Structure 1
Amino acid sequence: MQTLQRQHESRIDPGGQQMGLFGPSNPLDEDLRRALIGDSGSDRKVVAKAQAAIRSSLRSGEPVRAIAVDQFMGWPMLVVTDRRLMVMDRGGKSLQKSLDPEQIDQAAPAASGLVRVLTDDGDLAVRLRDYACARMFVRAVNDSLLSRRPRTIPTLYPKFFLELLAAADTPATPTNVSRFVERVFVMIKGQANVFFQQLDEPAAQAEFNNHFDGGGPEDRVLNCVDDMIDWLWKWNPACHRPLERTVRSIHDGLLMPHSFLHTNGGDITPWSEWASKA
C-alpha cells in the first residue's frame, strides 16, 4: 500500500499538478473544452496539446465555436470559428489550412458519425463518436459560417426570364412571362422536395409546400421563384451550392433548341397542359 502511495505521489510535480503516465498532462482551457464536440478524455488530451497552436492561429477577437477531432487517428482536427474553418496539422502543432465560408460547399453528417466537408480545395473527413456528434459539428459549421453567407444567385425576376425569352426570339407577352415563371417555379419546387427528402425534413417540407401552394402569396406570384430560393437559402446552407447548380442548369437547358421556349411557335404552353400530356 505504501509503495502504491509513493508511486502516486511521484506522479505529482512540485507545483502540485497531476502527471500523466507518460509525462505531465496539459490543462485544457475551459472555452476550448466547451467547444469540443463529444468532450471525451482522449479528445481533451489531443486538443490540450494543440491549444497553443490554435490560439496562435486565431485572429484578433476570433472566438472558437466548435472543435472536432477524429476518433480513430486524432487527426484531422477541425476548428470552427465565427469567421472560418481551420484545419490543424497532424498533432495539432500548426495551422495547415484556413477556409473562408465562400470556399466551403457544405458539411454533411452520416449515421456512422462521419462528417464530410466539401470545399473548393477538396473534401475533408472527420470521424466522430456517433451521429449526434456529427450533427452537432455540422450545425456549428452551418450556424457559425454558412448560414451567414449571402445569396449568390442573382434575383431572377424579371432579368432572367426576359433575357431567355429574347435569346429564344419568343415574345415577352404577359402571358408568356407568367407561364415561363410557372414552369421555373415547378422546377425549383421539385428540387426543393429532393432536398427535403435527402435531409429527412418532413416538417420543413410541409411548411414550404403550405407557403408556396398555388404559387405562394397572390401579390408575389411573379416573384415566387425568387421567394422559394430565398426560403431554401435561409433554411439550410446545404441547399446553397445545389441551388446555384440548379439555376445554372435550368438557364443552360432553356437555351437548347428542344426547350419549351423554342418549340411552340412563340407561345409558351401552360404547365398544366404540358403536364397532362407528359
Structure 2
Amino acid sequence: VTNTTMCGDEAQCIQSQSTTYCTCRRGFQKVPEKNSCQDVNECLRFGTCSQLCNNTKGSHICSCAKNFMKTDNMCKAEGSEHQILYIADDNKIRSMYPFNPNSAYEPAFQGDENVRIDAMDIYVKGNKIYWTLGCQRPLPSPLPPFCLSQISGLKMPRGIAIDWVAGNIYWTDSGRDVIEVAQMKGENRKTLISGMIDEPHAIVVDPLRGTMYWSDWGNHPKIETAAMDGTLRETLVQDNIQWPTGLAVDYHNERLYWADAKLSVI
C-alpha cells in the first residue's frame, strides 16, 4: 500500500514496529470524524500577514498594499522616514518622527491653563489638526494664528474623527449624549446618534467602508458601530469592557483596536 493510497495527497504515512498511521502534512488539518485532511486557511489567523494574505493549498502568500513596501516580513509605508506622530498631552500637542531614532519631541501647540485637549485628529489633505476644544491650526507651522471652529452649542465634546474622503468632522458630546457631524468649517451640522447612549467617548471612522465606531463609558460600557449616516447601528463589544478609549482602525486587516483606561489593557 503506497503512502498516497492509504493517506491521500494531504497526509503522510508514519510506520513503526507496532502500527501504521496517517498524519496531516504541514498546512493541512484533520477533518473531524473523517480519515482525511483539509487545507488550513492561515489567512484567518490573526497576525499571519502584516496586510494582505492570499491562502494557497497547504500554504499562504503575504503581500503589501499599494504605497507600502515589505521589510522584515512587515509592511511599511513608503516614505516612512518622513511620517510625523502627533501626541496630545493635557494642554499641548507635540510631534516627533517615530521612525527616526534621533528624533526629539517638538512643540506643535501650547495652550494656557484653561486648555485641556481630550482628543484630536489630523486632516492631512487640509493640512490641519482638529481637537475637541473647538480650535484648529495649520500644521506643521511655527506660530500661526489660531482660529475658533464655527461649531457652537457643544457641552462636553470628547472624541473627534476626520472623514478625509468627504471632508467632514465627527464628534461625540458626552454632555448631551449625542454623536454629530458637520463639514470642516462647522456648516450643515447634523445629529446622527441620540438615545440609548449614556456617555459617548472616543470615535473613529472608516470612510472607505462607510462605517464609524464609538465607545460608551456609561452604566453599560460598550463599543458600538453604525453607518456614517447614523443608520445600521449595532453593539460590537459589551463584555469585559469598562472605559474603552483610543479607538483605532486597521484598514487593511479590517480590525478595531482600543485601550481600556480602567482595565489597563489594549
Of structures 1 and 2, the larger Rg is shown by: 1
Larger RCO of the pair (alpha carbons < 8 Å, separation 6+): 1
More strand by share: 2
User: TM-score band, normalised by the shorter chain?
Assistant: under 0.3
Q: How high is the TM-score relative to the length of structure 2? A: 0.27
